[in-house]
Copies of this chain bind each other. A is one copy, B any other.
């Protein structure tokens, strides 16, 4: 198996020599530049294949000052929503021939995330993507004015050029409206973390829908997205039969259903429950969960589109309209008039 010279991997000069051209011509072929005769191009491509040559990203990055790598900061959890977004973003990035440098960071405070971002910057990523971070952390990062584009997946009351989101607000309103229209007297809200942007938007949607329906308002109860927190809150809270509960995600809903069961409150007869996300298990819990479905695949694509735009023509970047959601009605809050 001994190649020419200690069988080190081929470089652009090896290819050039084999194809009988200069290294610059090889470079032109590699970068799809015009002004290369088809016959020459073919010879070069043949040489590339024969030597199993692939250009060194390091050498390229050194001179172009672009790494074709995007830094992705994911929350240090395995929650369905964030994980789905991350995964779909990964697909989209690959389709655009970008690499993803991923880093999981518990997003407890700005310092934590700052460290993660600094790590990515040291890698000279071309852009940074943040997934549903704490609202204050998000603000802190936005204020940083890094010299690399930063795009975040997070909901806000008004569209922002550097944010991409699913329409949590309208999704929440639809969920609450459904409960009210199904005859529940009012709707309580078991919310996500108080500073999570998506949680805030769901809460806002709930609050405004309650207000516009002139239903009785109650204070929101904040969980931490986990089933355990949903269970705890639903166990401790004073719930009247006839009320609906809008839970900010499906995992917490599972905890809520468990608590209601223990307390002898029947769902949907005594209490209606609507979740958010439509996790794959939502149809199979008992009772099956009415919930708000989000199109994470589309979000991943849009995230990447925005990244490309910010990297390539930062000036043209404008607000992105949040993606719509869809209410999926199941047994925990069936349609009744």
**What residues make up the interface of A, taking CB atoms closer than 8 Å to B?**
54, 56-62, 67, 69, 72, 74, 76-78, 80, 83-84, 87, 90-91, 94, 99-104, 119, 121-124, 226-228, 230-231, 251, 254-255, 257-258, 261, 280-281, 283-286, 288
Alpha-carbon separation in the docked complex, A62 to B281 (Å): 48
B284 and A228 contacting across the interface, CB-CB below 8 Å = yes
Alpha-carbon separation in the docked complex, A193 to B180 (Å): 43
Known contacts A76-B87, A231-B284, A284-B228; A99/B101 CB under 8 A: yes
A87 and B94 contacting across the interface, CB-CB below 8 Å = no
Partner of A258, one of B87, B227, B286: B286
Instruction: Chain B residues near A59: list those with CB within 8 A.
Output: 58, 62
Alpha-carbon separation in the docked complex, A177 to B251 (Å): 30
Alpha-carbon separation in the docked complex, A69 to B80 (Å): 27
Q: How many copies does the complex hold?
A: 2
Q: Which residue of the partner chain B has the closest CB to A105?
A: B94
Partner of A80, one of B78, B230, B284: B78
Alpha-carbon separation in the docked complex, A121 to B87 (Å): 20
Instruction: Chain B residues near A258: list those with CB within 8 A.
Output: 283-286, 288
Instruction: Chain B residues near A74: list those with CB within 8 A.
Output: 87
Alpha-carbon separation in the docked complex, A258 to B281 (Å): 10
Q: Which residue of the partner chain B has the closest CB to A59?
A: B62
Instruction: Chain B residues near A91: list those with CB within 8 A.
Output: 76, 104
B281 and A254 contacting across the interface, CB-CB below 8 Å = yes
Q: Which residue of the partner chain B has the closest CB to A85?
A: B78
Alpha-carbon separation in the docked complex, A261 to B56 (Å): 58
A58 and B124 contacting across the interface, CB-CB below 8 Å = yes
Instruction: Chain B residues near A84: list those with CB within 8 A.
Output: 78
Alpha-carbon separation in the docked complex, A227 to B286 (Å): 13
A99 and B83 contacting across the interface, CB-CB below 8 Å = no
